[in-house]
Chain A
Amino acid sequence: MPRIQIDHLTKRYGAVTAVDDLSFSLEPGSITGFVGANGAGKSTTLRMLLGLTRPTSGTATIDGLPYPALPDPAHAVGALTDPDVFHPGRTGRNALRVLARPAGIADRRVDELLELVDLTGAARRRVGGYSTGMRQRLGLAAALLGDPPTLILDEPANGLDPIGISWLRGLLRGLADQGRTLLVSSHQLAELAQTVDDVILIDHGRLIARGSTADLMAHHQSTSLEELFLDLVSNGTRS
């Protein structure tokens, strides 16, 4: 069974079609880059996959189930939507504890993850005083709380400095090497190019290319993911 399956997924907001009949599936154990310009429909797709936005039509499932039907979501999927999902008045540690509690995850695991994302020193400070990068790392820790086999990360590199981005690449690679399935969106292609195995390119809510990064670049005679993307978007072709 595919870990993630998107089937004829469509989302319309009035006259605007944010996601247009999108279908793809992800098998276990790879990092897939979900790439598209700003407003291409990446976040909307991921939010539908996470049960935060209801599709107009089509389905999005994880391990065969829609997110809200997962019996134990924290242990099935980890998700990062955006860095501003923490109460500014709560400490970083408590922000994670309130998310760990419903899944029965112990505080010890919270402390482990704070260590992993290098926030142990700031754990008892309120999130309101965190930088964007720190909130982003806290969000990554939240995604990893339940040690899930699948991770859905929306623009995880946002707000990270070059050192943070390099750290993130290592983290993502390590997570995939453990056999996890990662779907990682980004509009900054250079950040992703060295990390992902496969890419899904979307534009105006539609799939325009899907395949291994190397194959796609060879096929379109591109020297970079960026060139490939610009080439595909300007042609508007499906492949």
Chain B
Amino acid sequence: MTALLSAEALKLRTLRTTWIVAVVAVAVSAAIGFAAVRITIGAHEPLRLAALAGTPAQAMWFLAIVSAVLASAGEFQHRTIRTTLLAVPRRRQVLAAKSTVAAAYGGLLVLLGTAAAVAAGLVAAAGSGASFTQTSVSWAHLAGAVAVGAVFAVLATGLGVLTRSTAIAIGAVLLWRFVGEGILPALLHHDGVTRWTPNGTAAALTGIGDHPLPPWAAALTLAGYTIAISAVAAVLFRRRDPT
């Protein structure tokens, strides 16, 4: 399994998109952190370091999902899945290795983004002569954001293997995030349902949103979605032959 993980990590490292995503992550996060501080100063509100650190999380989660989909569905699209399966015919091991490496990269993106947002936010504050009234950082929420990045990447790897198409997988994620989660409360006549969605659980783990689930319940729920998708992906990956 070590050799397999090393092979999947090498696949990621040897593609330019991986590095482009990392650069985009830093640039986007810096812009978010900078803008967040300027907006806070403009609104004459207190500057809080913990809030600044959390600003790029959503964007980084999305990049973690995109990277994981490119690495999983991308193998079907470029037909590298054939050589991958010739090298490692045990398909569940391939899925496990891919998920693990995607998780590591997803978590790393959140860390990079957080560092970039904080650095840019500090620069923005210094430039305006403002100072932070609260400099404590919530390590639990930071750990939550990193973990959510990793778990979303695992979910996205499963989705990529299920759909075998980068466009369909990313389209499905966007549709779910911007339409599905929005209409779900109306469809179910139950406002509290958004606490249980993937995004709702992620919010609970990072301390954003109103009336979130307790962290343990959010973690369990999110783990449940991920295990379910990964399990279906594993079964179908074994059953369906690559084209």
Contact = CB atoms under 8 A, between A and B. Distances in A.
B80 A87 contact: yes
Interface residues of B, number: 25
Contact of B15 (A67, A82, A90): A90
Nearest to A47: B241
B83 A99 contact: yes
B79 interface: yes
A14 interface: no
Interface string B1-25: 0011011001100111100000000
B79 A85 contact: yes
B232 interface: no
Nearest to B94: A102
Contacts of A63: none
A101 B74 CA distance: 19
B14 A90 contact: yes
A132 interface: no
Nearest to A86: B80
B17 A89 contact: yes
Contact of A74 (B4, B87, B241): B87
Contact of B86 (A54, A73, A86): A73
A82 to B, nearest CB: 8
Contact of A81 (B3, B82, B89): B82
A121 to B, nearest CB: 19
Interface residues of A, number: 31
Given A52-B242, A73-B89, A85-B83, A102 B4 contact: yes
Interface string B73-89: 01000111011111111
Contacts of A47: 241
A50 B86 CA distance: 7
Contacts of B3: 101-104
Most chain-B Cβ atoms within 10 A of its Cβ — which of A54, A87, A98?
A98
A52 B90 contact: no
B83 A97 contact: no
A111 to B, nearest CB: 16
Interface string B88-100: 1110000000000
A51 interface: yes
A53 interface: yes
Contacts of A70: 89
A84 interface: yes
A85 B80 contact: yes
B241 A142 contact: no
A79 interface: yes
A101 B89 contact: no
A67 B86 CA distance: 9
A47 B81 CA distance: 13
A151 to B, nearest CB: 12
B78 A101 contact: no
Interface string A135-150: 0000000100000000
A91 interface: yes
A205 to B, nearest CB: 17
Contacts of B80: 85-87
A102 B88 contact: yes
A51 B11 CA distance: 22
Contact of A53 (B84, B87, B241): B241
Given A98-B10, A102-B3, A102-B88, 9 more contacts: A52-B85, A52-B242, A54-B241, A70-B89, A85-B82, A87-B80, A88-B78, A91-B14, A101-B10
7 contacts: A51-B89, A53-B241, A79-B86, A89-B16, A99-B84, A101-B7, A102-B88
Interface of B: 3-4, 6-7, 10-11, 14-17, 74, 78-80, 82-90, 241-242
